[in-house]
Structures are given as structure tokens and as C-alpha cells.
Structure 1
Amino acid sequence: MTQGRVSLQDVATEASVTSSVVSRVLNGDSTVRVRPETRARILRAAEKLNYRPHPGARALASAQTRTVTLLIPDLTNPVYARIARGAMKVASREGYAVLISEDTATEALPYRQLADPGRTDGLLIASYRPGHPLLDRAVIGPLPHVFVNRLHPGSGRNVTVDFEAAGREALLRLAEAGHRHVAHIAGPAELPNSALQARAFAQAGVQAGVSVELIPTSLSEEGGAVATRALVEAESTVTAIYVGNYFQALGVLDALERAQWKVPDRVSVISFDDDRTASFLRPPLSTIAMAHDEQGEQAMVALLHQIRGGASQDVLVPTPPRFIDRGSVGPPRSAESK
């Protein structure tokens, strides 16, 4: 009895042929010339020995690595963990592995290595920014790639959630609560995601008769805190704040607590993106939840479509944003006193 993994040579010995003939027959090589009875003998031997091709050998034979790489901007951001989980779900089903890399390089050389077809079959790029080295065709070449959760306008290979719908939903919730003067602490204006969301939020404000202050800042705790301190120091009359991401929201809540601006009594707060920790903040944070798991799934489907020879395309995740009310949004003080 053969011990351990059955090899190609084991099948060849059982069928009384060479291992190269076995390999070509089992891989469906139409150019190999063998008699029908020889082909049948090889197939019977493979079935008898329960032969399974080694993944590495199969990859070499097909000139594919059977891996794809997910490039993310920040390993600590839970949004990308959810995207990765969705991508890995599809990849596993299709026989691929997912390598995760944090985008910390400042030169083109590491990106050339990352985009080497000998290392990966395709890239999921979740760290797009204007001027990114991977936008250079000399760097990425013909490698299949998809931009996920970060829009690259005009690329025709974006897989995103609906940022504009999220902005409109947030404004609608604040308007329904009675707010007429609100602020949006947004991401940097040069990031298309942030710009789309801010524009939709402001346009929805015009339609609802709500005055909107847009405050672009970094997508970080410190960015949220700095923008909030500016509102406090200016003694702003805004009664609600919509925050561009969850990390910013942590900075916003901290700055409001330090200023003794109670939430939602003095000012309401709602954040784009949800996290399981939101219920444990004080106060618990109301959020606009996005389907990031599904976004990862759709991105992987789109990438595998390219790897298999299909054309690239933009994909908008159909699941709409969902408002999760945890109590950090309430009526403005003026409405309460009436």
C-alpha cells in the first residue's frame, strides 16, 4: 500500500507508463498521443489510488500561483478585516489563497515585486490614493487587479459600497430628528470616497433645508478630535455631527467629552461605518452600517473573472446602507424646549 500523499509517479507505476504521460492525460492535454486503452488505464489507476494533484505542482503546470493579494492601508482597521473575510470566503471556494499586505511602501520597487505574476495571480487594491505607484502601467503591467473600497475614477475596475447613499441616509436621519444646522467631519477632499459622500450629504442638506458645514480632515482619531475641537473653540451652533469613518468618530466623542458637550443632549453624533464595539462606547454610537463582507466577496468574484480572461468592470454592492440607532442621535435642544 502506498503511504502518505499519492504521487504522479505512483499512478504512472500502477498504469505502467511514464509520469509525464500521466500528467498530460490527467491535465487534459489534447496533444498527447496515447491509445484509448492506455488513457483508460491511467484514469483507472488514478481513481484506484485516490490521486489528488499537489496544489503547488498544479500551479507550476498552469503558470498560476493560485493566490491573490489584498493590499490594505491599515491592518488595524476592522473594515478591512471584514473585506478580507468576504474575499477569503470566495477565494477558498474557488481554490485560491489570499495573501494580505499592508501598504507602507514609499517607492515603486516593492510594488513591482508585489505585482510580479510569479508571486500572485491578481491584486485587490484597497489602498488607492492619487499618484499611487500601482496606477503606473509600467509597475502593474497586465496583472489582473480590482480597486476595492477605494474608488479609482475612470479605471473601470472599482468594487465599492454606495458612499453617496450613506451620506444621504445620514442627512435624512438627522433631518428627521429635527436638526437644521449640522457638520460633516469628512475625510480628505482628494479621496474620491470622501468627496462623494460629502457631496451627497451636502446636496441632501439643501433638499431638506438643512445647513451643512463640511470639515475635511484625516481619517484618524486625531483628525476627528482636531476638527471637533475647532467646532468647540468657535462655539459652533451645530446641533449634530456626521463623521466620515469610525476612527474619526472615536476622536470626535473624546473631544466632545473633554469639552463637556454631552451627546446627544448638546450635539448628536452619527458615524459612517459600523463596528461591534460601537455598543460599548459611552454613549453608544449610532452608525451607518455598510456591507463590507459582501464588498469583499464581490471584489474577489470580479478579480477571478479577470484572471480567467474576462473583462474588468465597475461593481456597486447592491445592499443599501443601514442606520443602526444606539441613541447618540436625538432632537436638537431647541426642539426639546418647545
Structure 2
Amino acid sequence: MSITLKDVAKEAGVSVSLVSKFLNADPSGRMKEETRRRIADTLARLNYRPSPLARSLKLGRSGTIGLVISNLRDPYFALFADRCLKEAKEAGFQLLISPCEFGREAEEEALESLLERRPDGILYGLHLFPGRIAERLAAEHYPILLIDQKSDRFQTAYRDDAPALQAAIALFRERGHRKIMLIHPEYSLWPEVAGPECHKADMELECRLTVPGREQRLTLLRELCCRKPSALLVNGWHSAYALLQLIEREFPDYEPDMVIDCFLEHPFFQNRRIIARIDGDQPTLVRKSVAALTARINGETTGNIVIPSLFRPSVSPVPDIPNEQELFLLS
């Protein structure tokens, strides 16, 4: 049986209202130091735990924050969600996760489903923030923070890859390259950042858009390997992983210099062809995002969050590549 305020009050020999004022640090709850110690000792001895439901009803909040995120089978998003869980708990909130596939209809459904559970605020980690729902949330001044995207209407937290891309382009130039092949997904900002940087460095940039689907991606990457570009800038660990596997199997003599976008620490991503990694610093992104959202829920005003990506030159290449099952167990 759970211990109630009434039980604590009876055991301590005080009123229920006095125990409540003690718990809530109510300034009107004046009491002698001996009474304060007696209540504290009784709470500890009975192992009293406040009811989250009762507390949320009193505050007019649910004590939860929501997270809309992509497929949790993906190590990046699984690790992101795990870190959000820990940060939310540290801030005194439970995390409600609504995973979904990419696509406007799926994202809209995931967001609506989450809103029905009435979280105090939402972290939105996908790209197609539904316009119809966005209008409603903006009008209601609902606490929401968009991850890895920019907005003039909502608070955002995103990574700044510009300094890391500048370092990558400089490294390619130091190694004698004059042309870079950039492989990127549809929503990447890398082309608009890398293009001007390559122009300033008097280098040529060729951009190739990756496509969803394993077989389609392999077809595209195989075509690129046949051309054998000497400098590869790869945005997205899926493409980097598929490309390295393909090279090992079908083009073992192909030795390009590669800079990849990757968050995982594993010997696979220290392959001898990788001369550097660009790391979006996910731990900092999550920590500051959760802190900003909870501050907004508590009525504080904070600005947008910009996290500089980390440029990590390779120092100890390890050529072994794990199989796909091992890679998906990394997180």
C-alpha cells in the first residue's frame, strides 16, 4: 500500500496542510525547526513518494514531454531517443516517444497522436513539420522545439556544419585534390555550405543526391565507384557504410580519400580510406534541446540553439568492417 500525506501527517503529529506546505516549500508554511525536522524524518522513514498524477493535476501539467522521431531501428535515432530519455528524467519529466517513417502524412499522424496524450511540450526531430498543425500550435504558443532544422516561427536546435566542412575542404586541398564528390540526402544543407567554400578554395564540387532504399542506393554508389573520384565527402552514415562495404567487395583497389558524416565510435569508421569524420555532437544537441524545451515549459524564454559540429581527423586507421547486424547493435 502506498504512503499518503495523511499517513505522514498522523505519524509526525501535524496537519496534512502543514506537510503539504513543507513538501512544496510554501513560504506561508511557517513552522519551528524541530517540526520541520520531524516531518523530514517521517517522510524519509516512511519512504514517502509524491504522486506524479496528483502533482501534475495541481500544476495543470502532465509532467511529460513528447518526442517525434524517425525509425528507432536506426542507430542514430535510437541513441538520440535514449539520450532524450535520460535528459528528460534528469529534468523531472517522462518522455513520450512517437516514432514514424518519413513522409508528410506519417509525420502528421505521429504528431497528432502525440498531442492527444497532452505532453507539456514536444521535441520534433523530423523534417516535414506539418503545416496545418504548425499553424494551430503557433497560435496556441505551444512549447515545441524543432531539431536539426531552421524556422522563423518556432524555436530550433540545429548543428552548424560550416566550420567542419571548411576544415574538410582544406584537408582535401592539402592532400592535393582539386575536385570533391559530395554524396548527400535530400534534406542536406551541405551543398549550399560546401559550394561557396570550394569556390573560395578554387576547387570543383560535384553533388550527387542519394535515394531512399537499399538497392537504389547501392546502384547509385556502384556507378560512382566505377568513376573512381579521388575525394569523397559523404553526408550520412548509411551511405558511408554502404559505400565502404561496396568498395571492399567489388572495388578493393579503389583508395579514395573520404570525409564522412558520422556519430558512431567504432573501428568501422576508422577505415584506412577515411581521413576525417564530421560529428554533429549529438550529446550536446540533446542536452541543450531538452533544457531549452523544459525552460520554455516553465515560462522562461530562450533563443535558438546552434551546435558546432566536431571535425575529427583520423589518427589510427583500422581496416576491419563489421557486418550489418553488428553495426545495428552499436548503440
TM-score normalised per structure 2? 0.78
CA RMSD after TM alignment: 3.4
The number of equivalent residue pairs is 311
CA contact (8 A) 1:12 1:19 kept: yes
Q: How far, CA to CA, are the matches of 2:228 and 2:273 in structure 1?
A: 23
Taking a change above 3 Å as real, the CA distance of residues 130 and 45 of structure 1, as seen in their structure-2 partners, is closer
Secondary structure of the equivalent of 1:317?
strand
The AA in structure 2 aligned to 1:254 is Q
CA contact (8 A) 1:84 1:293 kept: no
How far did 1:314 drift?
0.9
1:276 aligned residue (261, 265, 269):
265
The AA in structure 2 aligned to 1:271 is I
CA contact (8 A) 1:71 1:125 kept: yes
The AA in structure 2 aligned to 1:275 is L
Deviates more, 1:313-322 or 1:131-140: 131-140
2:242 aligned residue (251, 260, 266):
251
Taking a change above 3 Å as real, the CA distance of residues 291 and 109 of structure 1, as seen in their structure-2 partners, is closer
2:112 maps to 112
Secondary structure of the equivalent of 1:160?
strand
How far did 1:29 drift?
6.0
Would you say 1:200 and 2:199 are equivalent positions?
Answer: no
How far did 1:201 drift?
1.6
The AA in structure 2 aligned to 1:126 is G
Q: Which aligned pairs between 1:57-206 and structure 2 lie closer than 5 A?
A: 57-104=54-101, 106=106, 108-116=108-116, 119-129=118-128, 131=130, 134-137=133-136, 141-148=140-147, 150-188=148-186, 191=187, 194-195=188-189, 197-206=190-199
1:262 aligned residue (253, 258, 262):
253
2:220 maps to 227
How far did 1:131 drift?
4.5
Q: How far, CA to CA, are the matches of 1:22 and 1:29 in structure 2?
A: 10
The AA in structure 1 aligned to 2:41 is K
How far did 1:184 drift?
0.2
The AA in structure 2 aligned to 1:255 is L
Taking a change above 3 Å as real, the CA distance of residues 146 and 262 of structure 1, as seen in their structure-2 partners, is farther
List gaps (5 residues or longer) in structure 2.
Answer: 319-331
Q: How far, CA to CA, are the matches of 1:88 and 1:26 in structure 2?
A: 26
Taking a change above 3 Å as real, the CA distance of residues 180 and 319 of structure 1, as seen in their structure-2 partners, is closer
Would you say 1:307 and 2:307 are equivalent positions?
Answer: no
Secondary structure of the equivalent of 1:71?
strand
How far did 1:261 drift?
5.7
The AA in structure 2 aligned to 1:106 is A
Q: How far, CA to CA, are the matches of 1:219 and 1:164 in structure 2?
A: 25
1:223-263, Cα deviation, whole Å (9 max, x unpaired)? 6433323324xx53621111111001122223334542634
Identity across the alignment (%)? 23
How far did 1:162 drift?
1.4
Q: How far, CA to CA, are the matches of 2:301 and 2:129 in structure 1?
A: 24
How far did 1:315 drift?
0.7
1:205-226, Cα deviation, whole Å (9 max, x unpaired)? 1122221101122366556433
CA contact (8 A) 2:185 2:209 kept: yes
Q: How far, CA to CA, are the matches of 1:253 and 1:317 in structure 2?
A: 28
1:293-331, Cα deviation, whole Å (9 max, x unpaired)? 111001011111111112252111246433335559xxx
Deviates more, 1:107-116 or 1:56-65: 107-116
The AA in structure 1 aligned to 2:58 is A
How far did 1:85 drift?
4.4
Q: How far, CA to CA, are the matches of 2:19 and 2:64 in structure 1?
A: 26
How far did 1:292 drift?
0.7
